[in-house]
Amino acid sequence: MVLFSMRLTVPANYDLEILPQLKAAGAFEIYGKLPFDSVGGGRPSFMATRLSKKGLAAYIQAVHAAGMEFNYLLNAACFGNEEWTPRFHRQLEGLLAWLDEQKVDTLTITAPYLVQIVKKRWPRFKVKVGIYAQVDTVKRARYWEDLGADAINLESFSINRDFEKLSAIRQAVKADLVLIANHFCQPNCPYQIQHQNGHAHASVTNPKFYIDYPIIQCQKNRLTHKELFISAGWIRPEDTPRYEKIGYTTFKLLERNIPSYALVQRAQAYHDRRWEGNLADLLLSWGFQKPAPRFERWWWLKTFRFWKMPLGLSGSALKFLKNQGIFFSQEKNPIHIDSQKIPANFLDRFEKVSCLDQECDKCGYCRRIADQAVSIDPAFLQDILPVYQQLEGQLVGGQAWGLSPRGE
């Protein structure tokens, strides 16, 4: 088998000590951002690492010294119409000037208007289109390339297993095309627009209070329909050669603010093109046995602003975070996806038939594999599912907002 020159773009957890390991595992680029800025990004600030401009500047310098590039994320899907105010542009200009001083190599951007501004005023930066731009067709890819994009993150949530479409897009553009390899979002997720816009507004300077309702729903759906762990469009390390053969050699790994051992483990698995353990260890953003470096619970409480949460909801929310293993360590990952029980020819089915217009209930392919490969700790389910039901009941039923019950 011919191995292509795989390139990995890897998230920053701001641990300087692991940079040489990430470089050795094929990382050419590290991506990250300040917890707050005037533009916003793709994760709420309370999920970010506490980091000052001075700290980020030192980290960027270390990334360059290790022989890698740094990609700063300006990938907010919505600016709340602030982009039509002089204040926004003054703040943007100041931020771009500072990023230029730090010799940032690339900016990841979701909004066409922002790409045009950067290409006009700051042409030194390379521009990478973010996944929230939802580039999933030849026309969209050509549009962004014509706009000046140097690289494009394709809409991996929905097209990672649509090989006909992937081949067509690859043949249509010259820009570097990037696939997110280890996400586990639902294909064509109905919460996607609300989720990405909520994250955009929750990551700007002085954000409004934010409850990540989409993640509550998505986690509950996965735990009650375990086939969703299989139907999510992740790419196994073993399957990367199939994508490389059609011209995809750059893969983006998630997740920011995870423990160093997990981040190195993920990069190494894809570099080796092999993983024989629990596939969930490469996919999940929670369930770790150690905290992320630089994680400080007081910072999380401060940025989440727990005191703004409706009083009756705070207990359920805290129990959800603790039981789910978000910001809290767990003894073991409660989700187990046995890599050895996923067929070696798993992707053959998707090369023959696209899932785009298929009914999952009638197909049953992912469900059959999940029955063999996916197991969830029963004690974990017993603890967490009532919490989901309580949270949903309070948020939807109105009790969280001080309303009297209706519709019963």
Q: Distance between the two ends of the chain, CA-based, in angstroms? A: 62
- Provide the 8-state DSSP code for 45: G
Q: What is the pLDDT of residue 319?
A: 76
pLDDT tens-digit readout, 325-354: 666 777 889 999 999 999 999 999 998 888
Q: With bands split at pLDDT 50, 70 and 90, how would you rate the model's confidence at 313? A: confident
Q: What is the pLDDT of residue 25?
A: 98
In angstroms, the CA 396 to CA 408 distance is: 13
The answer to whether residue 304 scores a pLDDT higher than 90 is no
Q: What is the pLDDT of residue 186?
A: 87
In angstroms, the CA 331 to CA 345 distance is: 33
Q: Which of 44-48, 62-66, 131-135 has the lowest mean pLDDT?
A: 44-48
Q: What is the pLDDT of residue 4?
A: 64
% residues pLDDT > 90 (the chain): 72
Other CB atoms within a 10 A radius of the CB of residue 322 amount to 15
Class of the domain covering 7-85+94-401:
alpha beta
Do the Cβ atoms of 187 and 363 come closer than 8 Å?
no
127-154 average pLDDT score = 98
In angstroms, the CA 113 to CA 68 distance is: 28
282-304 average pLDDT score = 78
In angstroms, the CA 145 to CA 128 distance is: 10
Highest mean predicted confidence (pLDDT) among 204-208, 222-226, 314-318? 222-226
- Provide the 8-state DSSP code for 19: H
123-133 average pLDDT score = 98
Q: What is the pLDDT of residue 142?
A: 99
Distances (CA, A) of 298 to 43, 118, 138, 258: 19, 36, 46, 17
| Mean pLDDT of the chain, nearest integer | 92
The answer to whether residue 41 scores a pLDDT higher than 70 is yes
Highest mean predicted confidence (pLDDT) among 251-260, 298-307, 324-333, 365-374? 365-374
The answer to whether residue 370 scores a pLDDT higher than 80 is yes
The answer to whether residue 236 scores a pLDDT higher than 80 is yes
The one-letter amino acid code at 125 reads: F
Q: With bands split at pLDDT 50, 70 and 90, how would you rate the model's confidence at 408? A: low
Other CB atoms within a 10 A radius of the CB of residue 360 amount to 15
Q: Which of 218-232, 303-317, 386-400 has the lowest mean pLDDT?
A: 303-317
pLDDT tens-digit readout, 47-90: 888 899 999 999 999 999 999 999 999 999 999 999 999 999 99
pLDDT tens-digit readout, 145-195: 999 999 999 999 999 999 999 999 999 999 999 999 999 998 889 999 999
In angstroms, the CA 147 to CA 88 distance is: 22
The answer to whether residue 1 scores a pLDDT higher than 80 is no
